[in-house]
Structure 1
């Protein structure tokens, strides 16, 4: 750690949550994402990290693909409009697992849509490829972010959090797979985190958790190398 060379380029984290869906009348991720900018303005972000867009997605698969990709592309367009080498983009997607008792950092998504109930646009696929040109329904895509390290940092901060290799086969997995595929095509990074209901872990604790997740970006030591050694000051 020295003073030589230019300051490292910032990381911009864009965040999404979901609206209500079958069985979940109030999605905690909608509340978290809606309030996140104001919450982080009060807490403050570490140097080298910026909070970008905060978007709420329809809890739908096929019918929401176009707006999802528009949302993902908007971050690329915004980044390209800034100065050259203006930093890297990470997408953080938040979804709810109504049966969970702790947070889950999702390591991967599967190229399979098998919805247990119709999504909010009435679609209920069974064993359908999410991206047909990307392989069979057994194809998986993993995040290039350090899931184990992220989980370890957050556990040390006192949160009930685990790593997971199964994001389900519903809309969360659907969005994550598209995001991971998009990330590979466009040089961004993607991470999905499942949260419990507010009745299991209260709203304030969940807001603190997401804030800690963002703040912990500076402690993801391997990110520096994976993001071409220009993202965070290690």
Structure 2
């Protein structure tokens, strides 16, 4: 009986130490044929990443100003992650864009529900900008060493991506949660420089930092 309790305690301790990561992507938008972040999340749901000491939850978000953040917030509140990685699709970009700054201002067009927030403040009585809580410089170096084209960005756009990014940064302040936003280009799922390889490297990077 004593050994059973020891086993249970060790198991619970192992689970408590697991890094909980929430990863989000978006549905297709703007008449595009696909969204590589949605495909990436769907593939991850079919073939979960198996990384020791890490628990991963995923969600595909609707491309609407209201529902995108509400859906992500529900996942954060229920899953209680240590890290939130939100991905967006930037069709005109190349490689990977690590977003540094979210702006408290919407300047994009209509969402998938036909709603426009152009010229609206995202969060009243809050900072003009909020910065990513991810170690972006270290992550950039890590990914470049593994063959990915990576750029730092101070403009996440004025559409749903920045909208979600700002709400996320505002929500996780002083909660002990790391979070940030990453744009990807129209990269393939598979291959050495595909989105699944990228995601695995990012999660592995986080796992290594956790073990330090």
1:233 maps to 2:211: yes
Deviation for aligned residue 1:182:
1.0
Stretches of structure 1 lacking an aligned partner (at least 5 in a row): 1-5, 77-87, 221-231
After superposition, the C-alpha distances for 1:70-116 in whole angstroms (9 at most, x for unaligned) are: 2221222xxxxxxxxxxx6101101100101111111121111111x
CA distance in 1, matches of 2:67, 2:36: 22
Deviation for aligned residue 1:48:
2.4
TM-score by length of 2: 0.85
CA distance in 1, matches of 2:174, 2:65: 20
- Residue-pair matches, total: 196
**Hey, which bits of structure 1, 4+ residues long, moved more than 4 A?**
none
Q: Which residue of 2 aligns with 1:84?
A: none
1:144 is paired with a residue whose SS is: coil
CA distance in 1, matches of 2:32, 2:116: 17
1:68 maps to 2:72: yes
Q: 1:62-211 maps to which residues of 2 (within 5 A)?
A: 62-76=66-80, 89-115=82-108, 117-135=109-127, 139-197=128-186, 201-204=187-190, 205-211=194-200
Q: Which residue of 2 aligns with 1:57?
A: 61
CA distance in 2, matches of 1:72, 1:218: 19
CA distance in 1, matches of 2:147, 2:99: 19
Q: 1:133 to 1:185 in 2, by over 3 A?
A: farther
Q: Which residue of 2 aligns with 1:229?
A: none
Worse-matched range after superposition: 211-220 or 176-185: 211-220
Q: Is the 8 A contact 1:75 1:89 kept in 2?
A: no
1:186 is paired with a residue whose SS is: coil
1:134 is paired with a residue whose SS is: coil
Stretches of structure 2 lacking an aligned partner (at least 5 in a row): 1-12
TM-score by length of 1: 0.77
